[in-house]
Every structure is written in C-alpha cells, then in structure tokens.
Amino acid sequence: MNEVALVGAGVSKFGVRKATYRDLIWEAGKACFDSTPGVRPGDVEGLVVGSVMPERTAFQSHIASLAAEALGIRPSALSARTEHMCASGTVGIRYAYAFIAAGLADLVMVLGVEKLNQPSGDEAILNMGTGVDREWEAAFGLTAPPCFALAAQRHMAAYGTSEEQLALVGVKNHTHATKNPNAHFTRGATLDQVLCSRMISTPLRLYMCSPITDGAAAVLLASGERARALTDRPVWIRGTGQALDGFQLTSLHEDYAHWPALRRAAGAAYRMAGVGPADVDLAEVHDCFAIAELIAYEELGFCKKGEAGPFVAAGRSDYGGDVVVNPRGGLIGCGHPLGATGVAQAAEVFVQLRGEAGARQVPDAALGLTHNNSGMGEHVVMLYGREA
Amino acid sequence: MNEVALVGAGVSKFGVRKATYRDLIWEAGKACFDSTPGVRPGDVEGLVVGSVMPERTAFQSHIASLAAEALGIRPSALSARTEHMCASGTVGIRYAYAFIAAGLADLVMVLGVEKLNQPSGDEAILNMGTGVDREWEAAFGLTAPPCFALAAQRHMAAYGTSEEQLALVGVKNHTHATKNPNAHFTRGATLDQVLCSRMISTPLRLYMCSPITDGAAAVLLASGERARALTDRPVWIRGTGQALDGFQLTSLHEDYAHWPALRRAAGAAYRMAGVGPADVDLAEVHDCFAIAELIAYEELGFCKKGEAGPFVAAGRSDYGGDVVVNPRGGLIGCGHPLGATGVAQAAEVFVQLRGEAGARQVPDAALGLTHNNSGMGEHVVMLYGREA
Amino acid sequence: MSYFRAIDPFPLESAEQTKLHEFYRHLGEGRLVTTRCAGCGATAWPPRGFCPACVSDRFEWVDLAREGTVHAFTVQETGLPAGFEAPRVFAIVKVDGHRVFTILTGADPGAVRVGQRVALAPLRVADDPTGHPRWLPAFRVASP
Amino acid sequence: MSYFRAIDPFPLESAEQTKLHEFYRHLGEGRLVTTRCAGCGATAWPPRGFCPACVSDRFEWVDLAREGTVHAFTVQETGLPAGFEAPRVFAIVKVDGHRVFTILTGADPGAVRVGQRVALAPLRVADDPTGHPRWLPAFRVASP
Ligand SMILES: [Zn+2]
Ligand SMILES: [Zn+2]
C-alpha cells in the first residue's frame, strides 16, 4: 500500500453566506491552491466532493462535475461525489486515500461544500430530517437534536454528568472559535450564556448545538513520492477506521450513552497507525452537540467511560490539558456545513501539524485525529501524523 | 495492488414499481445474496450505495446507512453513498475496488438504487434537470435529451448517419430486453415502431431514449484470496478508467459527435488490463440515447470514427457480430434507474462471464466491458475478465 | 413561470407504494403489527421485507401489544421542522421486547418518566397525494 | 399537516445570493457581460469568480456582442419538465468566440439553421422568493 499525505488545504468563511454552491467552491478551492504553489488546477488528477443536499437546497445534483468545472480541474483518474450525511467529507477523503494507496492516482483534491441556508430558514431545518429514516423517524418530525438529547439524558442519569459540564463544551468551542476568522461564530460564549440559551431538546440548549451553516473546504492528497516533491512538510495519513452499529435509533445500543461503533472505528485507526489515545495531540471531534464531544472523549479513549464530564471541567481537553479538542472551534463554534465539515477538520489538522495555525496553534502538534458521526451509531476516524 | 473480483450479483425487477427505496434495496440485496450462498449479510465488511436523488423523490438522504440497516449489514471497514448522476453506480464500484485493491477491506457490497417515478411523473422529469448546471443550463428547462440530440445532429451531418441507423440501436436493445425478465420493457420493438414513435428532441424519438425507471442492483466484490475461497468462477476486475472533459455543454469538444473523455477513459482501462477493443466479447455501454451507443462504438475502438451507423446496421454489435453490445437490453430496453444502472451492467457482465446468462448468453464470453457517461464529456469504463 | 409542489414529510403507505402497506392498514384499525420471518421465525421491529438472518423475503404479520413502557425520551422545545408543533415528546417505547421510536401525544411534557406505561394511539396525518389516508404509530400516556 | 414549497428552477440572481449578481443586473438592462480575469486577462464564458489559469479570484466585467451565430441546435417537442412549453429550441450560439448555451425564442422551429444570426433577447422569468426580478440570457432570430 502506497503512502498518502495531505499537501494542501483551504477553507471558505463559514456562516450564513450570500453565496451559491459555486461561490463557496471557488473560495475553498482558491484557498487550497494558494496553500500549494506547486499545484495548479490542471495538475490535479481527481476530484471527490462531499456534499449532502444540493438536490434540495439548490435543485442541483452532479455537484462533483460542477465543482471540477468551477475549479478548472479535468479529472483523468477519479471523479465522485460522496454522501454520508454529516460524515460526507471524510468519506470523500477515504475515497481519494484508497485510490492513491492502491496506486491508481497520485494527486487528488477532496472538497466539501454545503449551502444549507437556502431557499428558506425553516425549509433548512425540514431538510435536516433527510438524515434520519423518513418512514420510521423523520415522519414524526425527528431531526438530529432529539437523537443526541437521548444520549445526553442517559449520560446524565448513568454518570451524573451535569448540565454545566455539557455547557463547558459549548464554552470551550465558542472560545476556540474566537481565534478562527473563518468560524461561523467569533464572539465566544460564557458559561452563563450557554446555560441561559434557549432549550432546543432537553437537556440540550442552543449553545450546546452546532448551527445551520454554509461553507466549503478543500484538501489535496498526494502519493508519498509526489508529496515529498511538493512540500517538505507533508501531513501523512497514518490510520483510518469506519464502523456502523445501525441507522435507526431503535437499532443502536440500548444505552444511548454507549457508542460501540465509535470504539471500533477508533480501534481500527489506532491499530493501523500503531498509536494509542495518549499519543494524540489534537482531536477534531464531531461536536454536533456537546454530548457528542463528551462521549467521543470516552469512546476515543481519552478518558474512561462516564468520566467525560469531569474531564472537560478539569480542562483536560483544552490547551495545556491531555489533548486539545476542537482547536478551530468545532462544529459548535465554526458551524456545520455538512459535507464540508470533515474536510475542514482535515484542513485544521494540516495547518496544526505544520505549525501554521497561528493564534490557535497546539504546541508541538505531531499527531492529529479527526472524528465524524452521522448518527450515534455511525462513526469514522482518521489519524494524521507529522511523520510518515 | 491486490486483485479484486466480483463474487456475487443480483438485480431487482426494473420498471415503474409499486415500491419504496427500501423495497428495491431488499429485492436486489436478496438476489445478490442468493447468488453467493457462502456470504451472509453479517460477513460483509462494507457497503457502497450509488444513488442520485432520494433527497428529491423520497425526501431521504443518508441512503447508504438506510440500505445497510435494511440488509442487516454492519459495515466494519467502509460505508458510503456515491453520486455522479448516471455514472453513480460504477463510481461506487470503483470506491469498493480501490478499498480492496489497497488492502483495506476484503468483502464489500456495492448496491445501486433509484425510485424515480415518485412523487409524480412530471416532477420526475423536472428532477432530471438536476443533472445539468442549474444556473446556466437547467434554468432554461434543459434535461438530457436535447444534449444528446446535439450530438446526433452533428453525427448525422458529419458522417451521414441516418435516422434508420439510430433506430436500429433501439430495435436491437428492445429485442435483447425480451430475453431479460427484469427489463422495464419486454415486448421488443420493430424498426417501424421506433421510427414512428413520437419525437422527443430532434432527431431522437421515444424508442431511441431510455425511460424513467425504478430499480436496484447489487454486486459483491472480494479480494483475490477471499474470491477464490468463495467461488470457483470469480469475475475479475481487469481495468478501469475515468475521464472528464467538462460539465457544461459549452466546455465540451466543439464537435458534439467527438467525446475525447471516453477515448481517454477507455484507453486507461485497456492499458491497465493489457487488452484492446478487439478482445472485448460483450460491452454494456451507456445507451441513454441511441446516439450515445453509436458514439461509444467509435470512442471505445469497436469501429472507426464516423462508422458506427454502418457498424450497427451490419449487425456487428449484435450476437454473431464483433462484440455483443447491451445483451441485457441496455438502458433503452432495461430502463435507467440512475444509481442502479452501472451496478446492473456489472451484474450482467458477472452472469455472462460465468456462463449463467441463459437465453441471452454471449457464447464463450471471456472479457466484458461496461461504460457509463453522466454527460457527453464525462465517462467511466470498467473491464472484467474470466481470468485474473 | 413559478409553481408549487408538496414537500411531503410522511411515508407513502398504500399498496401502490410500499410492500409494507398492511402495516399501515392494520394501524388505521388500531392494531400494531409487525413482520415475522417465514424462514426462521424471527420477529422484527420495524417491520421488514427481508431477513438478514436467513435471507428470506417471505413474512407474515403478527400483532404486538398495544401498550408499552417508556425506555427513553426528550422534549423538543424549539427548532422543530416547519409544520411540526412544539413542545414535542420524542420517545423510545418498549413493546414486547422491541424498541419502538414514536412520539407521546396528549402528555404533559414535564410529567413524562422513564418506565411510564403508554398505549398505542395511531395518529392520522395528511392524506397522500392520491387521497389515501395515512397513519403513524404514535403513543399516549396510558390511563391509570 | 401538509403544505407546499416552491420548486424553483431558476438561479438566485441577487447580490444577497450570488457573487455573479452584476451579470444579471446588466442582463436586465439588455447587456451581455462576462468576466475578465484581473490576474491574467482571460475572458471566460460563462462568467466565473475564479481563474483556473492563474488562480486569481479578482475579475472585471466586460461586454460581449449582442449578436451571434447558431453553432448547434435541437428542437424538443415532448418530455419537457413541467412548466416549460414545447416546442423549445435549445441552441449553442457563438458570441465573440465563446459558445453560449441558450434557447431561441420567437423562432419557427422548422426554419432554424446552423450559422443563422441571432440576437440577445433577455428573458424575464419568475421573480425570486424575495421579489427580486430575474432574467435569463435567451436569444431570438435576428432581423434581416
Ligand atoms: Zn429469517
Ligand atoms: Zn487568470
């Protein structure tokens, strides 16, 4: 299997954007090419685009070809759009990764893009119901918040996790986002603000939830040889794992605070990389809701089962702690443009492992992890290292 | 790079179906497992689903996870949905192929599914406009037929291709479909019927066009070692190529009867397999419209540029000719449930190369090709062989 | 030119539209049924037309109890999709050993408790575009 | 509960919605403009906010001719999406060396020929949901 590395990365401004899908693709694509002066659009052999619902919000499918045209890429090896709800971007990275690892391509761009705030705000929420089972779940009006609320209820009941501990995830990530000019929110949040924000689904309050965000992100993946020719600081893909327990809520572990699929996905990635949770310097975890970040600490092995509340309260997931979680602000602070999220996480790991993260730099970051869920029973983990 | 083979395949009945996405997934999934008694859902390590517009027709995204749940597959290595308009299924096969070739998985199902005839017939046509550029093309009411009509106009003007030669593609494929009980149309068509069918977009008439079809198909891909353990007749992936010239009509070759991207995609696949067009016994080409099959003969190298009309008229693309094109009936006879099409083509090659195609068996078929376009400038080619 | 189409959030439930239509017909009559595999006898929830255990697609319909207990719940107060009213009690209800996802209707959201008994209360929603009536398997707090 | 939403087949053209809004404003005034890259001077069709040649995202608007010639065409007689009337003449028109995809309005479909001269005839379509007027770059057969 060939080595594979990130050699470039760029993100658009995230937020409620006055922009089309194409505008966002241009913005992230340009940022990515600007990070890699040795690569022009004509050099790129393949393009994979992670995107969930252009069919609904822009009445547009076939978004990979649209993006190739917009960026002037003429794929000669690989062209695809990937969708796996909130994990779509990382699933796209894995497509490009496998192609390069198998020796089928040498230089592939992966771009994630979503324009959710369109055509109208309340249609945007309705559209989010496409992520759960239409017939048995979405028909009742289910979207993501009540799903994760079930996990939060259970985590509080079983382990004594407090509303304040949930809120501290929101505080941390909103605070991190103040150092990220591309974040959706850049004003930070205090504990009081989070605890007094309006209730979405008990016990999850507004500032414990990721917003509905537009944005795009892009990374360039290269084979080992090409990567070394393009940069003296490639960021290597060291491991990956994906696992599913099930799709419907009623197929998952009976205890909604247990996410065995995440444990399996992380285990596969750690084994492949030959590392363990203690080796991780920074982790971009999928804090679609504060409870997801807490359970991720546990299933990723950063702390024991049930101890995530005290872990965040002690600052162990912040600068100066065991592992810096979500330095760019996470989904809560940066926003969550579905297809773009996994790619933006990879872009963050890229700048962190190269020491280019500026005010939010994690000191001496050598190993970075990204995690996405697309439901409590569906997880994907990537490990990136400064060394091959 | 590891060897990769098909070890199982199955298709649903194609047509205007009284069925949900899930019903179609069950039908194709069962047919595929029935073809591979050594594999049960619990053995499958990954699932890739090709599907274009469940977001529009069933208000459902996240269709890969829905399919995994429906079939009782718990992915431990790989889960993804792929979309590339009419090429979505084959793009899914390439995802699974790369994963296995890189050594990241050993047994992966690829399923394609589309329920287009929903919620209403005229919305189905409107939805097809999502395949072209919304802003610069679909806004005018453009869907696929006028695009391919431009190619047909040009082919007729440049090479003297006749309306009758176009019609003979329809006759051949409708006739082939009479031997395929899963085809959308099974009554055949005469030359008169095709030439007298109603005009869709000059010069393409109804029977020269693929219909709007519901259906699903599934194949199982395995690594070489696993494949040999599961069957004594694996069908090997020998080569693959994908290439794009552009997305918008105005970015393609000025002569719409020239499809250089198909020539490049085919060239890559032939080189990888170490074969040439003369070695191909059967070809499942993307006859979304009759003109596409004619131009495919030329760009795939079955005949010289401009000679496709006489080629079909002489029976050289039928049983007893140079190469049997579209033995299952093609998109024109079988129908074109977008995401399912590429997978159904692979399923046909699977039964043909194993000698299990019954009344439509291509004698002594050893090398099979599949081709999809998702626009005149976007092509993907696969080569499958009886021998590794 | 501008025109409108329904964005229909409900399933298509008729025999013209789904293999599982009998489920909905029974639900409209006040019965909660599900599938039992004709191959291996496994009972599933939700109903299914394919059995992963024995790869059979033959099944028969069997009745489930019309009562169950709350296994987990949450009350959504804001951010519901257009057309769905808050507060809304989403719940997982245990019925004959199966977990059933549902909403609890007619409940005081502040009084719902894990372990509480609830009863099937089929919810009639908008007819489908062909005029076919549609039902969802909702529950309500059981009378004491 | 059942309700309706627009399925809007037209682009969002206002400054609130797209970086290319000036194109549409000019079109409404009868001008066909496109982008010229501020980095390398390349003129594109359709307009673009990013130049693949020099990776610049700065551009200025330049006028194109209001006449062109038919490079290719077809007449769609049936199977048009709901809301679009048949017969419909889809065409590629050459304007200042660029190929422009469009429809020909007011033409006798049987009389259209490759090489024929056509003139810009901006087509007003439905306003967007905020009431902003919208235009598409259609052409008509030029007067002799
Ligand atoms: Zn069974
Ligand atoms: Zn330039």
Q: pLDDT at residue A121 above 80?
A: no
B180 to chain C, closest Cα gap in Å: 22
* Mean per-residue pLDDT, C124-138: 94
Confidence of residue D6 (pLDDT cuts 50, 70, 90): low
Percent of chain A with pLDDT over 70: 99
- Summarised one tens digit per residue, pLDDT across range A291-305 is 999 999 999 999 999
- Summarised one tens digit per residue, pLDDT across range A314-368 is 999 999 999 999 999 999 999 999 999 999 999 999 999 999 999 999 999 999 9
CB contact under 8 A, B378 and A80: no
Q: pLDDT at residue C144 above 60?
A: no
Query: What is the pLDDT, as a whole number, of residue D82?
Result: 86
Q: Pick the residue of A25, A83, A99, A374 with the most B CBs within 10 A to test the interface with B by mutation.
A: A83
Query: What is the pLDDT, as a whole number, of residue A41?
Result: 98
CA nearest to A368, candidates A288, A284, A308, A303: A284
Query: What is the pLDDT, as a whole number, of residue C6?
Result: 53
Q: pLDDT at residue B147 above 90?
A: yes
Query: What is the pLDDT, as a whole number, of residue A329?
Result: 98
* Mean per-residue pLDDT, C24-40: 98
> Which residue is associated with the tokens 């709901």?
D82
Spatial separation of the C-alpha atoms in residues D14 and B272, rounded to whole Å = 49
CA nearest to D44, candidates D57, D30, D26: D57
Mean pLDDT of chain B: 97
Percent of chain C with pLDDT over 70: 94
- Summarised one tens digit per residue, pLDDT across range C62-117 is 999 999 999 999 999 999 998 899 999 999 999 999 999 999 998 899 999 999 99
A36, amino acid identity: T
Q: Which ligand is nearest to the CA of D37?
A: 2
In this structure, how many other beta carbons lie within 10 angstroms of the beta carbon of residue B278? 9
Residues on D contacting A at a C-beta cutoff of 8 Å: 5-9, 11-12, 15-20, 48-53, 55, 57, 129
pTM for this entry:
0.98
Q: Please write down the HEC assignment for all residues of chain B.
A: CCCEEEEEEEECCCECCCCCHHHHHHHHHHHHHHCCCCCCHHHCCEEEEECCCHHHHCCCCCHHHHHHHHHCCCCCCEEEEEEECECHHHHHHHHHHHHHHCCCCCEEEEEEEECCCCCCHHHHHHHHHHHCCCCCCHHHCCCHHHHHHHHHHHHHHHHCCCHHHHHHHHHHHHHHHCCCCCCCCCCCCCHHHHHHCCEEECCEEHHHECCCCEEEEEEEEEEHHHHHHHCCCCEEEEEEEEEECCCCHHHCCCCCCCCHHHHHHHHHHHHHHCCCHHHCCEEECCCCEHHHHHHHHHHCCCCCCCCHHHHHHCCCCCCCCCCEECCCCHHHHHCCCHHHHHHHHHHHHHHHHCCCCHHHCCCCCCEEEEEEECCCCEEEEEEEECCC
Tell me whether B141 touches chain D (CB under 8 Å): yes
- Summarised one tens digit per residue, pLDDT across range B284-313 is 999 999 999 999 999 999 999 999 999 999
Query: What is the pLDDT, as a whole number, of residue D144?
Result: 57
Q: pLDDT at residue C1 above 50?
A: no
Segment holding A50, helix H or strand E = strand A46-50
Q: Pick the residue of C75, C101, C102 with the most A CBs within 10 A to test the interface with A by mutation.
A: C101
What are the chain B neighbours of C7 within 8 Å (beta carbons)? 59
Q: pLDDT at residue A3 above 80?
A: yes
CB contact under 8 A, C82 and D125: no
- What residues have their beta carbon closer than 5 A to ion ligand 1? C 37, 39-40, 42, 51, 53-54, 56
Q: Which residues pair with A368 in a beta bridge?
A: A282, A384
CB contact under 8 A, D52 and A59: no
* Mean per-residue pLDDT, D62-83: 96
Answer yes or no: are the C-beta atoms of A58 and A90 closer than 8 Å.
Answer: no
* Mean per-residue pLDDT, C118-130: 94
* Mean per-residue pLDDT, B15-39: 97
Contacting residues for A37 by C-beta, under 8 A, at least 6 apart: none
Query: What is the pLDDT, as a whole number, of residue D3?
Result: 42
Radius of gyration of chain C (CA): 17
**Any idea which residues of B carry the catalytic annotation?**
86, 336
Query: What is the pLDDT, as a whole number, of residue C129?
Result: 82
Q: pLDDT at residue D4 above 60?
A: no
Answer yes or no: are the C-beta atoms of B95 and B141 closer than 8 Å.
Answer: no
B310 to chain A, closest Cα gap in Å: 31
Return the residue of B nearest to A78 by Cα. B242
Q: pLDDT at residue A249 above 80?
A: yes
Confidence of residue D1 (pLDDT cuts 50, 70, 90): very low
Residues on C contacting B at a C-beta cutoff of 8 Å: 5-9, 11-12, 15-20, 48-53, 55, 57, 129
CB contact under 8 A, C79 and A200: yes
- Summarised one tens digit per residue, pLDDT across range A140-156 is 999 999 999 999 999 99
Q: pLDDT at residue D143 above 80?
A: no
Query: What is the pLDDT, as a whole number, of residue C2?
Result: 45
Q: Which ligand is nearest to the CA of C56?
A: 1
Is 0.90 exceeded by the ipTM? Answer: yes
Mean pLDDT of chain A: 97
* Mean per-residue pLDDT, B142-147: 98
Query: What is the pLDDT, as a whole number, of residue D2?
Result: 45
Tell me whether B69 touches chain C (CB under 8 Å): no
